[in-house]
Amino acid sequence: VFSPVEMAPRDPILGLNEAYNADTRASKVNLGVGVYYDENGKVPLLRAVEAAEQARVAEHAPRAYLPIEGLAAYDQAVQKLLFGQDSPLLTANRLITAQSLGGTGALKLGADFLYRQTGKRLVAISNPSWENHRALFEAAGYEVVEYPYYHPATNGLDLDGMLKSIEALPEGSVVLLHACCHNPTGVDLSLTDWAKVIDVVQRRNHVPFLDIAYQGFGENLQDDAMAVRLFAESGLAFLVASSFSKSFSLYGERVGALTLVTANSEETAPVLSQLKRVIRTNYSNPPTHGAQVVAKVLTNPELYSLWEQELAEMRVRIKAMRQALVEKLQAAGVTQDMSFIQRQRGMFSYSGLTKIQVERLASEFGIYAVGSGRICVAALNQSNIEHVANAVATVLQE
């Protein structure tokens, strides 16, 4: 039965990790990762998470099944975090939130739902995008096309290209948008840029699907949700895939959510019933632990402010590393303007390094980055940044 099965293509990032692990140099650095490391190079366990977990253990709660759409307290807390405490949507009966297996699970639920229930077959993603976007939508049966996003000449946004391309898509296409801290480029839209995107999406009857995996890593929890809130104000129906993997440092617990914003309250009950079918026939219902922890933190004022503070610490450290990298590159003799690294937001930076330069970083210096030049700024720290800056300066200059 398995004899026709051929090897799947190698995952480029996993391959990078293998090469990094096999490297025996003490000064090696892995900038290819997609997780936040603290100053000591560790994935942090947040104090707010630890406190919520201790409270949960003390409860000795039985492990019954959760509802199909997940823990109600969690789903409601997700809505408040995305749309704001005072959003009229919270009481308009136009929101459906289902707890999901991370942000990835939310994207897949949304993709399956739109495919089965609305007949969508075409999705547009940014060029470039998180590499799993294409694979996930293709696996769900879609044709995946790209809209221009990154402008190499300015290391910034190609807004014109993006708007024109979204305009030219067949009417009613699904348009996947990174709400903040774009992966892999770190390049985000301004509020006025978002207004233009909303305008074209609305005129073309497209279905916006917002992916927000880094809320709190850009500016703060409110500002990073501005795209979601602008779409909410527009009155459009749309989808949001959100994730706590990064903001709670709960990667392995798989805590995310899919939120559907319906056009009016009459749509809500049928949409929820069909979404529940998608979940039920896939994994029945979600796991308890991560959602319990996140719900506890989000609904307890003391834990919430502790979490906000810890999230700010992560964000501030990333920004400090961006600034230090720009300064150290300059000190190491790089004459190009690298200040774009400081304008980019979130965990990643499109460094502008070519594939050949990335290969040299690995072979000569034991510094591993993605072939596209994406580096994880959150993997830099005081102990490795000098080595990284000097190595990047060397490959940039020769």
Is residue 89 within 8 A of residue 95, CB to CB? The reply is yes
Tokens of 314: 């992560």
What stretch of H or E contains 177? strand 174-178
Residue 216 binding ligand PMP, by CB under 6 A: no
Residue (285 or 330) nearer to ligand PMP, CB: 285
CB of 108 to ligand PMP, least distance (A): 9
The count of other CB atoms within 10 Å of the CB of residue 50 is: 11
CA distance 181 to 197: 17
Among 126, 183, 247, 259, binds ligand PMP (CB under 6 A): 183
Residue 102 binding ligand PMP, by CB under 6 A: yes
The count of other CB atoms within 10 Å of the CB of residue 363 is: 11
Residue 104 binding ligand PMP, by CB under 6 A: yes
> What's the length of the chain?
398
Question: DSSP class of residue 224?
Answer: G
All residues at 6 or more sequence positions from 219 whose CB lies less than 8 Å from its CB, including other chains: 345
Query: Directed axis angle between helix 301-331 and helix 47-59, to 10°?
Result: 150
Residue (102 or 366) nearer to ligand PMP, CB: 102
Active-site residue, 194 included: no
Residue 243 binding ligand PMP, by CB under 6 A: yes
Catalytic-role residue among 246, 296, 307, 328: 246
CB of 221 to ligand PMP, least distance (A): 17
Residue (100 or 357) nearer to ligand PMP, CB: 100
CA distance 133 to 121: 15
CB of 243 to ligand PMP, least distance (A): 3
Task: From 392, 386, 383, 288, select the one nearest 336 (Cα to Cα).
Answer: 392
CB of 112 to ligand PMP, least distance (A): 15
* Total residues at interface with ligand PMP (CB under 6 A): 12
Active-site residue, 211 included: yes
- 10 Å CB burial of residue 52 (0-12, 13-18, 19+) is buried
What stretch of H or E contains 243? strand 238-243
Active-site residue, 246 included: yes
Among 130, 150, 340, 350, binds ligand PMP (CB under 6 A): 130
Q: What is the sign of the dihedral through the CA atoms of 142, 105, 376 and 154?
A: positive
Residue 142 binding ligand PMP, by CB under 6 A: no
Minimal CB distance residue for ligand PMP: 102
Among 218, 256, 286, 290, binds ligand PMP (CB under 6 A): 256
Chain residues 22-41 in contact with ligand PMP, contact rule CB under 6 A? 34
CB of 255 to ligand PMP, least distance (A): 7
Tokens of 349: 């930076």
CA distance 215 to 362: 31
Residue (201 or 255) nearer to ligand PMP, CB: 255
Start-end of H helices in 60-205: 72-83, 102-118, 131-139, 159-168, 191-203
- Contact segment (CB under 6 A) with ligand PMP among 21-29, 101-109, 155-163, 353-361 equals 101-109
Residue 211 binding ligand PMP, by CB under 6 A: yes
Which residues carry out catalysis? 130, 211, 246
Interacting residue ranges for ligand PMP, rule: CB under 6 A: 34, 102-104, 130, 178, 183, 211, 213, 243, 245, 256
